[in-house]
Amino acid sequence: MKKDTAMEALDIEYVELSLDRVVLQMPVGPKTRQYAGILHGGASVLLAETAASLAAALNVDLQKYAAVGLEINANHLRSKSGGMVTAVATPLHKGRRTMVWEVKISDEEDKLVCISRCTVAIVEKG
């Protein structure tokens, strides 16, 4: 699921994949920093939506359905100029057609960098 995706381009790695928890890590560096030298908010949002969409996808039959981002919000709480950030997605709602996931992005010291809520649509393939 990583090849030729944003996950591959931004060096996002799987840490944990389960039905109720997805953990991803992303380095903070030239690919993810904005002009001022800190983690780009868009990179944090991309990481959050990736974690939420992947978490939702683990909960559906991927032969019949796709999990796609429908809405996302994010609050950027702390800047980060290097190192690693970790995203942890946990469910707030798991329905048949939509799921809502909370994603907390923290640094190596477990300090919250960003908090996000992502609504994922479950759509039929076809």
How do residues 4-52 score in pLDDT, each as one tens digit? 999 999 999 999 999 999 999 999 999 999 999 999 999 999 999 999 9
Residue 11 lies in a domain: yes
Q: 123: exposed, middle or buried (C-beta count within 10 Å: 0-12, 13-18, 19+)? A: middle
Give the full edge-to-edge strand order of the sheet including 21-28.
13-18, 21-28, 83-94, 98-106, 112-124, 65-76
Residue 1 lies in a domain: no
Average pLDDT, the chain: 97
Q: Residue 62: give its domain's CATH number.
A: 3.10.129.10
Residue 110 lies in a domain: yes
Say how far apart CA 116 and CA 47 lie, in whole Å: 10
Residue 55 lies in a domain: yes
Strand partners, 33: 39
Residue 77 lies in a domain: yes
Using the 8-state DSSP alphabet, how is residue 27 labeled?
E
Residue 37 lies in a domain: yes
The catalytic site residues sit at 49
Provide the domain count of the chain: 1
Residue 30 lies in a domain: yes
Say how far apart CA 76 and CA 113 lie, in whole Å: 6
What's the domain range around 112? 6-124
